[in-house]
Structure 1
């Protein structure tokens, strides 16, 4: 890819005035959200699953130079368990924890995979509402561990993503409304039928499962800390948000592991579904209404998860909202490679953090407010690959397999 200067997008930034001081403990700032024991249990469990392997942490020195920062690392989750996204770490792990709650903690994942309890698990139904990746993870986990899954999709989830979920044996139910309406329909039907909701968002009386989901995400963060060069200290993480489980897990894990040396967390959202941005401005959870019609479908959420918000309100250094064209630009930039950077396939929601970084680098005022300099060392998490290859080709102009073959 030829050299370019960071473009100017119509992005907005809000620096959090309620950010907890560096010396504050996570337990004091946001008690009961995530904890060391929960992360450790998830890591010990998931790393024993069939076909587990760490995903790569890819340095992008060419892009870092262009953006005017010191280092840039891209955690590429496109190969996670063959699902194309990081969500298996959360959704499938929460399915396992539910089955263990029903059958007993002595039941292992290996027992379930081997079908030892199939006579009992086959009568258990888990359900979830999804923009795509979380539902696929729940469906995959249900098939892996031997129970039934019913997945709710809102009207804007592509048919390609619906088919990918159905391929794991899940029953698909469409809701003619947005994501938040599908969450409510899922919860209502679950209550009527005795199903277990496996959601990455929380509500009054429902927090254990979203907590399991966030703890599962800790696997990729442990991998990242193991992979980053010795002595390298991150200064920033730009991380995309839907309901908030991913950025809260990132912020919580790094807070617990790095304490006062933790990096600045910049939460990135589509401008048409920026519920965290609106909540940060208001100082309390705010619901964003309307169609939420962003092409970053995996981030099209109008309500924050209250559990995740409790942590992000204390841990989010800043909140950034970006237009859809920033995501397309980030996808194309990754696919082409900058200077000698390797080409990478990143999906439209998965590149949200990188798109936010590019938008910030192209706006001097935002760049200064985020304290980005030539010495900054930044992590972005590529949370999905081309989970809908048809849409990927439409926006990037190339097939994902051609990008990877370059």
Structure 2
């Protein structure tokens, strides 16, 4: 197995992938450049490329399978024993290319993961908000490379085209968060208060929690119907990698 990653991915994050047996090849530029480099390498060496986003006119078969594969997250929640799960009133999910959000929204509604009138939010790094910009434009938008973000695994400049119509039809909003917001959110999980479970997660839970905190603090509680009875669903899709990026004093 060979992995191609942008040069901005931390050494710690790359080491976790290497331990699974992959050889990491770094390429300059953003995530989309790494997808293109992986596709080129696969074509040259007779491998099968499994991307989660594509350019215009490219075969989307593998990309569709990746989006469908994310449905296992919803199925695992639905499989929770009766009495231990209730329908979510809010779903706040991070977006890289948007495939995970499209899967959770579509499959989640089909499996009754959340209430029919649940508020669904897609949160992105402020510096890589390709899903938001595409939703605003009504068509897939590829953003130019910009300054790096500490949410490196979500630093994607173009969305998965097939997922956009579903996301646009179901999302109530597309909040963005700063690196500072994200760091504060992870430290909040790590600190633990009272009898709460101490959690240490990396880049792919930060935006969701940070977006929720920002919504709660910015006067959006009423608009989003956030109160003490709310049941908010967040997704952590990556373990505690890149800890050195966000650790330290708040």
Q: TM-score, normalised by structure 1?
A: 0.56
- Contact 2:154-2:203 at 8 Å conserved across structures: no
1:218 corresponds to which of 37, 56, 71 = 71
Q: Which residue of 2 aligns with 1:125?
A: none
| Greater mean deviation of Cα atoms: 324-333 or 309-318 | 309-318
Q: TM-score, normalised by structure 2?
A: 0.89
How does 1:1-400 map onto structure 2 within 5 Å?
Answer: 149-203=1-55, 204-227=57-80, 229=83, 232-258=86-112, 261=116, 263-364=118-219, 366-388=220-242, 392-397=243-248
Aligned-partner SS, 2:52 = coil
1:246 and 1:206 map into 2 onto residues whose CA distance is 19
Gaps of 5+ in 1: 1-148, 399-406
2:155 and 2:183 map into 1 onto residues whose CA distance is 16
Aligned length in residues: 246
- Contact 1:234-1:262 at 8 Å conserved across structures: no
Runs of 4+ in 1 over 6 A off after TM superposition: none
1:206 and 1:263 map into 2 onto residues whose CA distance is 34
Change in 2 beyond 3 A, CA 1:280/1:371: farther
Change in 2 beyond 3 A, CA 1:200/1:329: same
State the Cα distance separating 1:324 from its structure 2 match: 0.9
State the Cα distance separating 1:197 from its structure 2 match: 0.7
| Greater mean deviation of Cα atoms: 260-269 or 154-163 | 260-269
Deviations 1:115-168 (A, max 9, x none): xxxxxxxxxxxxxxxxxxxxxxxxxxxxxxxxxx22111110112222322233
Question: How big is the alpha-carbon RMSD for the aligned residues of Structure 1 and Structure 2?
Answer: 2.2
1:307 and 1:324 map into 2 onto residues whose CA distance is 28
2:244 and 2:28 map into 1 onto residues whose CA distance is 26
- Contact 1:201-1:210 at 8 Å conserved across structures: yes
1:316 and 1:208 map into 2 onto residues whose CA distance is 25
State the Cα distance separating 1:338 from its structure 2 match: 3.1
Gaps of 5+ in 2: none
Aligned-partner SS, 2:88 = coil
State the Cα distance separating 1:200 from its structure 2 match: 1.5
State the Cα distance separating 1:393 from its structure 2 match: 4.0
State the Cα distance separating 1:177 from its structure 2 match: 1.5
Aligned-partner SS, 1:301 = coil
